[in-house]
Chains A and B, each alone.
Chain A
Amino acid sequence: MSSRRSRITEEEINELISKLQSILPESRRRGTSRASASKLLKETCNYIKSLHREVDDLSDRLSDLLATMDTNSAHAEIVRSLLRS
């Protein structure tokens, strides 16, 4: 494992960590000084979970909306074709 780590330098890992930090919504607003890796990982965990919830919620809403829509309109047909693909 240590030999692999020397190939993938510590710098790359830090770069990836900072990239992850930039993706997370929390760290965008504050100054990017919370470089604590464990906090970052924990935030990533929570963020992924919340994204999952969001996706589920949106999908549910979407399916509900689609069910209530006027199924004969061309509009609905477009959307259905998009969803099917």
Chain B
Amino acid sequence: MASLLPFSNLHISQSQACHFNTHYMTSHLFLLSLLGYFSLYERMAAFSYQHHHPLLLDSPFLPNSAIKLPPTPHQVGEMTNVSAGFLYCNTPEAIREASATEARAFQSSGSLDGAIILHSGETQMDCSSSVLVETHGGDSGERATTLQGSTEKKRKSRHGASLSSFRSKDTKESKSRKHKSKEGEKPKADEVKERKPCDDPPTGYIHVRARRGQATDSHSLAERVRREKISQRMKLLQSLVPGCDKISGKALIFDEIINYVLSLQNQVEFLSMKLAFLSPTMHDLGVDLNGHMDQQQRIGSMARDSVPTPFVPQRNHIQPVAFGGDITKDYPMMDPSPFLLHQQGPQAFSQDNSSVLMQVGDQRQGFLNPMMFNNMCSFQ
């Protein structure tokens, strides 16, 4: 996949690096490229996380134009446009006003679709989006209630009035001018305002309001709940992964997330390798090296299958190379030391680290020995 290109580039540099003999510069170049890749992500991570656009949740509501009310198709079309216009009205104040005026219709119409109100009391934006939903439903409900009472002209004018009222925020005035039953307005507005504070505290689960023209049986409702949960989590992930906001399309986003997780894992391994490299003489380890080696080999193979490790897999000489009595102790100590270093962290990390360190240890044995001898001795 094209989106996996950054990682394939990394692989290419790996293979290029392998062409050289195992010289010091090989791993150096390799680490350089790796560092370059990490620094790219670090730079990206330096950008502040963007919070959700408060109206991202509105998008699922937008295509809802299938309205099946008794009124004439002409009116339906008009209502569609109007409701689409309602949905675009941004400010929470306007939304509240809108819901306040439409709440009476919502109340009176009772069960428009017989569904539940969108709570999801996670953030304020959800509250406002829930209000939006009510607005939309309430709008059509208003139509239904006034169908019997008023003439067509009155309904159109009310639509026009409500539309302009939403946009200009002076709902009550225009309503009182053209609306017949003004008395129903206030108690329902109060109800709505009372209801809104109730939306804020988190309920712990998500209610979904069935949209017009959509099936209301439990299956599709549950399905919609599930899908909205998923999209919420995806948005959260998008905010976590740098550069993911600009990508659209589930598969691409997944691609990016996977790449990011893999690179983060590599970064962790890399850093822990460096750490172990820096502190080769840890405690006196009474560890059974053979047992550790086996475990490391197994985990290393697992890690290698799923994680593209940046290091050349060399499992040949894990046994301590006999350079001298003192030095022999140091090299084996290098490998298991991350086990102790990362005891606090999650087990997976230490396993990954140790697998990488096992390989790196091999490389280092190959070329860094001449340099490391004296220094390793000095660390004792």
Contacts and interface: CB of A to CB of B under 8 A. Distances in A.
B66 interface: no
Interface stretch (B7-15, B160-168, B288-296, B342-350): B342-350
A53 B255 CA distance: 22
Contact of A79 (B274, B345, B349): B274
Contacts of B70: none
A22 B261 contact: no
B267 A55 contact: yes
Contacts of B268: 51, 54-55, 58
Contacts of B230: 37-38, 41
B262 interface: yes
B226 interface: yes
Interface residues of A, number: 45
Given A16-B255, A48-B241, A75-B375, A69 B261 contact: no
A34 to B, nearest CB: 14
B270 to A, nearest CB: 9
Scoring B252, B264, B307 by chain A CB atoms within 10 A of each residue's CB, the highest score goes to B264
B261 A51 contact: yes
Contact of A61 (B275, B348, B378): B275
A79 B278 contact: yes
Nearest to B348: A25
Nearest to B235: A41
B371 A74 contact: yes
Nearest to A17: B254
Given A19-B258, A65-B275, A85-B32, A78 B371 contact: yes
Given A37-B230, A44-B257, 15 more contacts: A23-B262, A25-B346, A25-B347, A38-B226, A44-B261, A45-B240, A48-B241, A50-B346, A52-B264, A70-B378, A82-B28, A82-B35, A83-B274, A85-B28, A85-B32
Interface of B: 28, 31-32, 35, 226, 229-230, 233-234, 236-237, 240-241, 248-252, 254-255, 257-258, 260-262, 264-265, 267-268, 271-272, 274-275, 277-279, 302, 306-307, 345-349, 368, 371-372, 374-376, 378-379
